[in-house]
Structure 1
Amino acid sequence: MADERIALVTGANKGIGAAIAEGLAAQGLSVVVAARDAARGAETARRIGAQAVMLDVTDDASVTAAAKEVRDRFGRLDVLVNNAGISGGRSQAPGAVDLGTIRTIFETNLYGVIRVTEAFLPLLRAGTDARIINVSSGTGSLAWMTDPSHGFAVRGSMAGYPVSKTALNMLTVQYARALSGDGITVNAIAPGACATDFSAALGITLERTAAQGAAVVIDLATGTARPTASFLSDEGEVPW
């Protein structure tokens, strides 16, 4: 156990999160599947040879309990993947915004990341070559959204999901700056749109698989390169 790297992935019972957890387990890491649906999390963990913990990123008590459980099991954490996120559905068009929907999106996609990262920081500081990876989105890129030649610039506008990911990108930079002295790297990744329940909720049909989207996270978590304060995809750096 002392030589194994310990990784926790939030929202890991399905979709890209499950693919990330499976890929990390295949690389020899001891993986904790964190999911708010305890039964589905346990099922995924059994399937990929991992462990499971119940964790709802929107609930303080749940996150605190999960951090204690990981501390009791392992005493440290080497990789934290903040993957849990929601699309928020369709009530996000500027001019017809449901403010409750926006709050719900931010509670998971931004505040949830803060809540989890703060709770697990003591374990990451006790880890080796610790890495935090925040699953963002290319839709959070201001450069892409304002480039008339980019596909994102011609899509319908949304006041929730992409805004939450732009905020997550800035949060990534702030944590990277704050934790540089601890030797903890913090990066955001754009996995690309994949065929998951997440995209289905937005009415989008895709061919790219969750495993393809997960590959950049697995490489960042296990590779020798140690960038920090970066926004990355499987094609390289994404413009902020």
Structure 2
Amino acid sequence: MTTTLITGANKGLGKATAQRLIAAGHTVYVGARDEGAGRAAADELGARFVRLDVTDDESVAAALKIIGAQGGLDVLVNNAGIARREGMGEALDGPSVLEVFDTNAVGIIRVTEAALPLLRKSANPVVVNVSSALGSFWATHEPSRPAFAFPSIVYGSSKAAVSMITVQYAKAVPEVKFNAVEPGITATSLGGGEPGSHPGRPARESAEVVARMAMIGADGPTGTFQEDAGELGW
């Protein structure tokens, strides 16, 4: 049995990924800051709930301690992320930028570092970092890509950091497979809107590429950036 932790999994892409992996036979922990929403999502999906705030070291440590005590971990999906609605009345300032980077980039390191002792005990340890084409230097310079025409100063920069975090972990921890994923433009509440307010395709469709990379075998890739059609340029 493969045990998987997904951060930010009480709604949107994280929840859809949890549903897909449960259908594939994984035991899934729904990680969420909000205990009520997290437990409700876990109960609905047939998953386990663990309270986890990726911006809080103590919360992360406590969550991984619980998972370890209950049997260990094989797969980590770093999905939790936030965005600022640039150009929609929200000015950029230091605190708001730090909040995005703390969640989207530093949060991945917090959770990954806490999870590594458990992942190293797995026969097939995998980490999937949910990134974005907005963080791809190639896609943001390629006129045929949506990311080319969509300026995203803070969110895009934070996802570029996710890409480098992925590459460096793949080099530093070769016994664990690390890959980044571009899930596609997805209808979620990213940016603080109502559920589904962000334009895009249904979360269940975008979850397919995340789940695919979470289910790679021992011969699977590491240090890559993946999307629906295959590998994406950094």
1:127, 1:223 → 2: CA distance?
A: 14
Residues of 2 paired with 1:107 and 1:58: CA distance? Answer: 6
* Partner of residue 220 from structure 2, selected from 209, 223, 226: 226
Letter paired with 1:164: S
Tell me what 1:125 maps to: 120
Measured against aligned partners, the alpha-carbon deviations of 1:135-194 in whole angstroms (never above 9, x if no partner) come to 000111101111234332222x232100000011001000001111x2x10000000011
Matched, 1:10 2:28: no
Pairwise mapping of residues 182-197 of structure 1 onto structure 2 (< 5 A)? 182=175, 184-197=176-189
The within-5 A match list for 1:194-205 is 194-198=186-190, 201=193, 204-205=198-199
**Paired residues of 2:185 and 2:199 also in contact (CA < 8 A):** no
Task: Give aligned pairs, total.
Answer: 230
Q: Structure 2-normalised TM-score?
A: 0.93
SS for the counterpart of 1:186 is strand
1:68-104 CA-to-partner distances (Å, cap 9, x unmatched) read 1101111x210000000001222699xx632221111
> Does the residue aligned with 1:88 lie in a helix, a strand or coil?
coil
Percent identity (aligned) = 43
Residue 91 of structure 1 contacts residue 97 of structure 1 at CA under 8 Å; is this kept in 2? no
SS of equivalent to 1:58: coil
* Structure 2 partner of 1:216: 209
Deviations 1:202-234 (A, max 9, x none): 97433x110111101111122445110000001
Quote how far apart the aligned CAs of 1:201 are: 3.5
Q: Which runs of 5+ in 2 are unaligned?
A: none
8 Å contact kept, 2:84–2:191: no
1:43-71: CA deviations, max 9, x gaps? 11111111000000000110010011101
Q: CA offset at residue 24 of structure 1? A: 0.7
Q: How does 1:44-123 map to 2 (within 5 A)?
A: 44-74=41-71, 76-90=72-86, 97-123=92-118
Change (3 A) 1:186 1:199: same
Aligned to 2:38: 41
Q: Could you state the TM-score of these two structures normalised by the residue count of structure 1?
A: 0.91
Give distance in 2, aligned partners of 1:11 and 1:228: 23
Are 1:176 and 1:185, in contact at CA under 8 Å, matched by a contact in 2?
Answer: yes
CA contact (8 A) 1:91 1:101 kept: no
Aligned structure 1 segments of 4 or more residues deviating by more than 3 angstroms = 199-204
Specify the SS of the correspondent of 1:133: strand
Q: Select which of 152, 155, 164 maps to 1:161.
A: 155
State whether structure 2 residue 143 is matched by structure 1 residue 151.
no
Please tell me whether the aligned partners of residues 20 and 218 of structure 1 are also in contact (alpha carbons under 8 angstroms): yes
> Is 2:162 aligned against 1:140?
no
Query: Contact 2:6/2:76 (CA < 8 Å) preserved in 1?
Result: yes
Contact kept in structure 1, 2:85 and 2:191, CA below 8 Å: no
1:66–1:92 distance in 2 versus 1, CA, 3 Å: farther
Contact 1:92 1:101 in 2 (8 A): no
Root-mean-square deviation (CA, aligned residues, Å) is 1.8
